[in-house]
Amino acid sequence: GHDALAWAAAGHEVVAVDFAPEAVASMRGRARETGLALEVIEADVSAPPASLRAGFDLVWEQTCLCALPPERRRPYLEQMAATLHPQGQMVALLWHHGNEGGPPYDMAPVLVERLVTGLFTIDRREPVAASIREREPETLWWLSPLRR
């Protein structure tokens, strides 16, 4: 919820999705305490409500993809592509730690490229300073959905 609250504090219209009732309640409470407008939906991000289809400018991804087991990653990315309007972007902060197993699972560049093929165009990717030192190196990926 920290990122959702930060985006809302920066003046953006934000919809946050989390499957954990405790996280949803916490986000709603913090938004109320700080006076921020933040819509929080309790749902599985790989099966979001139909109301979240094709209307978003941006999907911010930081810790969901790396937490998903391999068989759930592509369906998740398909859903994220479906939530974006044609000019929207998915911006993903991904951690390539090189370790086996997870979560968090390694997000090696070759793996990310394979996962997004046919769904997104990789507009750019750039190394960034990690917000948490243990997560270095991180890469920011800018992805545009392919429209058929």
**124 and 70 share a domain?**
yes
**35 and 60 share a domain?**
no
Average pLDDT score, the chain: 91
Q: Is the pLDDT of residue 113 over 90?
A: yes
**32 and 58 share a domain?**
no
**98 and 129 share a domain?**
yes
Domain count, the chain: 2
Give the length of the chain.
148
pLDDT in tens, 28-37: 999 999 999 9
The contacts of residue 28 (CB under 8 Å, 6+ apart) are 38, 40
Q: Which domain holds residue 8?
A: 1-43
**36 and 60 share a domain?**
no
Q: What is the mean pLDDT of the segment spanning 64-76?
A: 94
pTM comes to: 0.88
Neighbours of 12 (CB within 10 A): 14
**6 and 57 share a domain?**
no
**95 and 124 share a domain?**
yes
Kindly report which listed range (1-5, 8-12, 130-134) carries the lowest average pLDDT score.
130-134
**16 and 86 share a domain?**
no
Q: What is the mean pLDDT of the segment spanning 117-125?
A: 95
